[in-house]
Chain A
Amino acid sequence: MSLLNKGGEGLRPAIRSPQNFVAGAFLVLAAAFVVFMLSGLPQGTLRAMGPAMVPRWTAIGIGLGGAVLVVLSFLKEGEALERWQLRGPFFVLASLILFAVTIRSVGFLVAAPLAMFTAGFGSREVRPIELAIFTVAMTVFCAVVFRVVLNQPLPMLILPALSIQF
């Protein structure tokens, strides 16, 4: 990344648009990966297109586009990389994973509060007690609205030890 950091040091940096450079490089790598993953599938002919034809050529198009972005990043002045705030995504992603893991095994009445309480810490202004109250209220609200009123297929509580499942 040393190429990217030269930005403000007087000398003209080699990469003049770090944003385009990183995006382009990522696209080239991603496209190469997709083309590699498609290597086992037949492309067919134009008269009888195979399953790999469209994805492969689309990926090649994306890769070329990425390459152009990389080249442009050396030629044209562009924007610097933006800062990523990791706190929000970290807690929200953790909460999504928790929900995905627990919804089938213990059910909504456990999964929802767990996920919501975790997600809440993604905000810098989190107030744990307020969050806890909100979490409980929302769980009840969602259970009533989605399960009882709208009859959605949400498993509510699963406790195999007590053979509870509803």
Chain B
Amino acid sequence: MDFLQNLAHGVVVAVSPINVLLCFAGCMLGTLIGVLPGIGPIATIAILLPMTFGLDPTAALIMLAGIYYGAQYGGSTASILLNIPGESSAVVTALDGHEMARQGRAGAALGISAIGSFIAGSIATVVIAALASPLASLALVFGPAEYFALMLTGLAFAVLLARGSVFKAIIMILIGVLLSTVGPDLTTGQLRLTFGAVWLADGIEIALLGMGLFGIAEVFRSLEHGEARQVKKTQIGTLLPSREELRASVKPILRGTLLGSILGILPGNGAVLAPYASYTLEKKLARQPGRFGRGAIEGVAGPESANNAGAQTSFIPLLTLGIPPNAVMALMVGAMTIHGIVPGPQIMTKMPDLFWGLIASMWMGNLMLLVINLPMVGLWVKLLNVPYRLMFVGIVIFCCIGVYSINSEPADILIMAALAVFGYALSKFNFEPAPLTLGFVLGRMMEENLRQALMISRGSFLTFVERPVAAFFILLAIVMLVVGILPSIRRGRDEVFVD
């Protein structure tokens, strides 16, 4: 039970007054931005990231954890009350959560979502602590060929998960990889595709991509609809779910946690799949599946727990292998790099305070959510009552401040504007931005690992077949692509949304 000792050490680091305060502040701000309609965790974290730059590394990461969980919870609040999911994984919450809100049970939906998230988060924290060491030692046998193959598998998985055309998802990944190559070549230092502009010389920040594609582009889309979206003027009702509701939720929460924990570990953002998987499972297990979609509390409890557990275990690939499995984790990498931390297996041994402090702070972030956000839900409801004609102005200025704070570089705002137009165009042509972000996130690392792998193998691609671990991942990637093309499986996956 070595890891429990480590975890206890982490808790000691995390509960210092200043760290608790920062976690609190992060949680509040995360919810404040995350609750804005259409703004999911990616955009929220991108906006708030610069605030953590001035802190010491451990404190910064603890505050980020608070922001992350706040953003998640804010997103759920917006989907339950407004039926506007800020990201694809909150879509599932909106199905039954919003229905509950329309029946005047918004309080219970919000309550169970926080309780479920807390339980899931607590369990997932232990999972991370237990798995981190063994997986990190596994990472030591990984060479560049294995890393490249693993990331390829991640991308194939993202294609599999993308909604709509598989072919378009592949194009999106390629565009993401291409965008990631803007800036200096890591080996020779030669500038690529910068068009001679100084402000492109460092490449494109992932935070800009997050705010452009997921923040401002969403504003463009929402402005088309006009003022159709309003909070239902219904009662929030009591926040604590009733005894029966709690009893009905216990098993979905535990099952959701299990599903989420497993899926979150997969590279290529498996966590997105978790809420869908949980919703489908609960519907299959339910005695009266017809209740789903009509305000079944299990349909909120399960997916919300799965979502949170997955969000948390997706830290595992980052902390053990140094591979960010999604855009949120890539933002975390950005934050770590600013503080001179290189994510990977060595963090655990070289900076135990930071590593275990961060893991403990995840648990603390979840606790914060429960303690501060439930009592404050009235405030968030008031915020959601602000008409969109004013709300989007706020979103725009938050993005401006967020971008400017990163590098104090006004040109970054123009890059974000360009990315926003691009994101708007993507939605007009039915392309999905999620695979693009993953391609962007992994692009540079893939290029570096490919280069090293080929250097070692003297230019022979056979290295990816001869090395058993690499060959396994390549095979897995091919299988996933084939599965993604098979129509029967695609139909099954889309079924969740149909009814």
Contact = CB atoms under 8 A, between A and B. Distances in A.
A130 to B, nearest CB: 7
A27 B396 CA distance: 29
A152 B421 CA distance: 27
A12 interface: no
B171 A66 contact: yes
Contact of A62 (B178, B388, B417, B454): B178
Contacts of B404: 99, 103, 154
Given A34-B193, A101-B410, A138 B397 contact: yes
Given A51-B185, A92-B216, A99-B400, A119 B451 contact: no
A138 B393 contact: yes
B396 A115 contact: yes
B174 A115 contact: no
A82 interface: yes
Interface residues of A, number: 67
B142 interface: no
Contacts of A79: 430
B245 interface: no
Size band of the B side of the interface? 35 or more
A148 B392 CA distance: 24
Interface string A13-56: 00000010011000100000010011001000111111110110
Contacts of B54: 151
Interface stretch (B218-226, B295-303, B321-329, B354-362): B218-226
Contacts of A61: 174
A123 B389 contact: yes
A122 B192 CA distance: 36
Contacts, number: 176
A13 B430 CA distance: 21
A97 interface: yes
A79 B420 CA distance: 23
Main secondary structure of the interface of A (DSSP, over half): helix
B193 A37 contact: yes
B193 A50 contact: no
Interface string A82-106: 1011011100110111011101100
B414 A122 contact: no
A66 B459 CA distance: 29
Contacts of A101: 410
A157 interface: no
Residue from B170, B171, B400 having most chain A Cβ neighbours under 10 A: B400
Interface of B: 50-51, 54, 167, 170-171, 174-175, 177-178, 181, 185, 187-188, 190, 192-193, 195, 216, 219-220, 223-224, 226-227, 387-390, 392-394, 396-398, 400-401, 404-405, 408, 410-411, 413-414, 416-417, 420-421, 424, 428-431, 447, 450-451, 454-455, 458-461
Q: Which 8 A-B pairs have the closest CB atoms?
A: A88-B223, A51-B185, A47-B459, A46-B459, A123-B389, A100-B413, A100-B410, A55-B181
5 contacts: A38-B193, A46-B460, A48-B455, A89-B421, A96-B417
